[in-house]
Amino acid sequence: MSTHSRDITTIDQTRRTVLKGLGASALVASAGTGTLASAVHAASGFDVVAGTRSGKVGGITRDGVHVFKGIPYGAPTGGANRFKPPQPPLPWQGVRDATQFGPTAPQVGHAEAGGTQPVDDESAGRMGEFAGFIKGLAGNEPPQGEDCLVLNVWTAGLDTHKTRAVMVYLHGGAFETGSGSWPLYDGTPLARQDDVVYVTINHRLGILGFLHLEEIAGEEYTGSGNAGMLDIVAALEWVRDNIANFGGDPSRVMVFGGSGGASKTACLLGMPDAEGLFHRAALMSGPYMRAREPDYATRLTHQFLDRLNLKPSEVHKLHDIPYETLLREARHLAIPISEGLAGAASPDAFMPMQPVVDGKTLPAHPVYPEGSPHGKNVTTMVGSTQDDMKMMMLSMPWFGRLDDDGLEKMAADTFGNLAGPMLAAYRKAYPDASPTDLACQFVTDRVMWAGSIDWAERKNAGGGEPVYMYRFDYTTPAMGGILGAAHGVDLPFALNNYTYTPMAGDRPENATMARKVSEAFVRFAHTGDPNHAGIPEWKPYTEEQRATLIFDVDTRAETDPRAELRALYGKLLKG
């Protein structure tokens, strides 16, 4: 679905989204501020107008913040462009309407994703409430379409004489779902209250973004297994080339994200094409270390072609199949994510469509066995929440009814010969916890907490800029408090937009927490150091000190929190 373009003197409702007319290298200067800007605004009918290399864009001004939505940073990705590296957007004439979000990348929606079925009325009610909760986070997403290489910008001013640090947020949803248009990611408060320009993006997902075709179909499909990541690189190139016109400083760019957005951020640290495009990175509950091996990715492609009754020599036919069909058939390649996490399955089983080590666009694993040289000059922050994976476990048949025998079996399946010491350490650390609570903690700690520590150690082993570690313990009262310090609950505080979505719930300490956390992220974006007067001294993470900032009502710095469990997980993960 295309957005409309608006010429300064006329509106042509039948024009295509991308208009021809200007040379591809033409640089349109920012309208800036003052009388020139006022004249342009009056002529165009937009609140604010800014320039990009492809043409001018007209946005809206709300609460003192200029917002530009749906700006194309690449050409449509359908037809002949499907599975290929992103192409530059074609330039347009006049002022393009940037007041509405652009198309959502094609994906299977949350309601259609499937998973473990509720075992009783209580489970069904809980899952129904959770589905409504997620819907509240997503809002009303724009229609899907392959013209999805769009980004959104929030800025307090276009004055190029006052440059602001740039914070580029990558949305969650593994590598399969999500959108930069979610209310959960709104950048108004950060742009209004802090000296930053904030950006969110859409990019190709799932089978359209990560189907590895190169080994089957040849050089024409180089990079196909990482097309979605190459989209993100293209967006960062757009930031480099255009963000000064929005008041941003291209030499101070921070990329960060939660969940799948954290994994994408980690992947960028291993990509040669991304080197130099960003200078800080923050991983919020997504310590991604290893991408897919190329042989596995190729086997998966063969399975997918078999489902479509296509031979390897018929790859070209994939360009003509409706993307809805491709998405539907791709669902059969994975198990539900909640089952995979609970059962300690390989990520390949529940997240088959993800980046691939293709030797070119991603030469090696991002942070395995150690940090990539392409990310050495990027200062990083990595963290998790105290109850990160609990929300993922709500659909499991054992949730709320697990007994000690079931817990011991789960420990054996998860930890192998370390099950006994692990279970003893957990019962010592959480003497009042139920078997269900401990089982959820198993998953949280293995995937996110210990995973973040392992990620930091490997990043440090590669040398370069420091890593800062945090854990977010502040709980949300949403859904009656059952989620605890939930997966993603740190985000509305990092963005200071806790009133925009139901994630944070209603707690009297919310405003104070938002100031603590958002200021740390903003300081980090500006300088690479998250310290500020509102938190204790936050030192970089090293194996000698293991400094960790615990965000909570009583935010504190700790040295090697839960040391016994950390040491056991070190043995497990290194093994």
Q: Is residue 3 one of the residues assigned to a domain?
A: no
Q: Is residue 161 one of the residues assigned to a domain?
A: yes
96 CB-near residues (< 8 Å, 6+ apart): 3, 5, 6, 55, 56, 57, 58, 71
Which one is predicted more confidently, 524 or 340? 524
Q: Is residue 191 one of the residues assigned to a domain?
A: yes
Q: Measuring CA to CA, which residue among 244, 245, 299, 255 is closest to residue 279?
A: 255
What is the pLDDT, as a whole number, of residue 70? 98
Are 490 and 258 in contact, with CB atoms under 8 Å apart?
Answer: yes
- Of all residues in the chain, what percent carry a pLDDT higher than 70? 86
Q: Give Cα 183 to chain centroid, integer Å.
A: 14
Which one is predicted more confidently, 419 or 395? 419
Q: Is residue 94 one of the residues assigned to a domain?
A: no
Are 548 and 557 in contact, with CB atoms under 8 Å apart?
Answer: yes
Give 458-506 as a DSSP string: HHHHT-SS-EEEEEE-----GGGGTTSSBTTTTHHHHTT-TTSSSSS--
Least confident of 148-162, 241-255, 511-525: 148-162
Q: Each residue of 98-107: pLDDT tens digit?
A: 999 999 999 9
Q: Kindly report the backbone phi and psi dihedral angles of residue 569, in degrees, each rounded to the nearest multiple of 5, phi listed first.
A: -65, -30
CA distance 221 to 77: 14
Average pLDDT over residues 498-506: 92
Q: Each residue of 67-124: pLDDT tens digit?
A: 999 999 999 999 999 999 999 999 999 999 999 999 999 998 643 444 455 556 666 6
Are 45 and 58 in contact, with CB atoms under 8 Å apart?
Answer: yes
Cis peptide before 118 (omega within 30 of 0): no
Average pLDDT over residues 456-482: 96
Domain housing 479 = 64-86+102-575
Return the bridge partners of 48, or none: 59
Domain count across the chain: 1
Q: Is residue 39 one of the residues assigned to a domain?
A: no
CA distance 342 to 487: 15
What is the pLDDT, as a whole number, of residue 132? 75
Which one is predicted more confidently, 534 or 45? 534
| CATH number of domain containing 457 | 3.40.50.1820
Q: Is residue 26 one of the residues assigned to a domain?
A: no
Q: Each residue of 214-230: pLDDT tens digit?
A: 999 999 999 999 999 99
Tokens, residue 466:
């420091």
State yes or no: pLDDT of 575 exceeds 70: no
Q: Give Cα 259 to chain centroid, integer Å.
A: 6
Angle at 62 between CA 158 and CA 259, to 5 degrees: 85
Q: Each residue of 350-395: pLDDT tens digit?
A: 788 999 999 999 999 999 999 999 999 999 999 999 999 999 899 8
Alpha helices (H) along 224-365:
227-242, 260-268, 294-307, 323-330, 337-342, 347-350
Residue type for position 31 = A
Average pLDDT value for the chain? 89
Q: Is residue 81 one of the residues assigned to a domain?
A: yes
CA distance 291 to 83: 18
Q: Is residue 31 one of the residues assigned to a domain?
A: no
